[in-house]
Structure 1
Amino acid sequence: MMKMKTITVAFIASALAASSAAADGSKLDKKAILKQHDLTQANKALVLKAYQELFGDHDLTALDRYWTANYIQHNPTMTDGRDSVRQLLEKMGITHWPKQKVEFKRVIAEGDLVMTEVVQPKTDATPETAIVDMFRVENGKIAEHWDVIQAVPADAVNKRSMY
Structure 2
Amino acid sequence: MTTENTSIVQRALAGLIETGDVAALGQFLSDDFVHHRPGSTTSTKAEWLAAVHAALVPLAGMQVEIHQMLADGDHVVVYSRRWLPDAGPEIAVVDIWRIDGGLIAEGWEIIEPVAQVAANLVWWESAQR
| Band of TM-score, shorter chain | 0.7 to 0.9
Compare the two structures and name the one with the higher strand fraction: 2
Question: 2:43 maps to which residue?
Answer: 80
Residue 27 of structure 2 aligns to a residue whose secondary structure is helix
Larger radius of gyration: 1
Matched ranges for 1:141-152 at <5 A: 141-152=103-114
**Counterparts in 2 of 1:56-135, with a 5 A limit?**
56-75=18-37, 76=39, 78-94=41-57, 97-98=60-61, 102-123=64-85, 127-135=89-97
How far the C-alpha of 1:82 sits from its partner, in A, is 1.7
1:24-60 C-alpha deviation (Å, 9 max, x unpaired):
xxxxxxxxxxxxxxx1100001101111212342111
The structure-2 alpha-carbon separation of the partners of 1:52 and 1:115, relative to structure 1 and needing over 3 Å to count, comes to same
Q: Is the 8 A contact 2:62 2:84 kept in 1?
A: no
User: Could you state the TM-score of these two structures normalised by the residue count of structure 1?
Assistant: 0.62
- CA 1:77–1:58: 2 relative to 1, 3 Å: farther
**Aligned residue type for 1:67:** L
- Residue 84 of structure 1 aligns to a residue whose secondary structure is helix
Secondary structure of the residue aligned to 1:87 is: helix
Task: Point out where structure 1 has 5 or more consecutive residues left out of the alignment.
Answer: 1-38, 158-163
- TM-score relative to the length of structure 2: 0.76
When the two structures are aligned, how many residues end up with a matched partner?
A: 118
Aligned-pair CA distance for 1:155: 8.6
Give the secondary structure class of the aligned counterpart of 1:61: helix
Supply the AA of the counterpart residue of 1:151: P
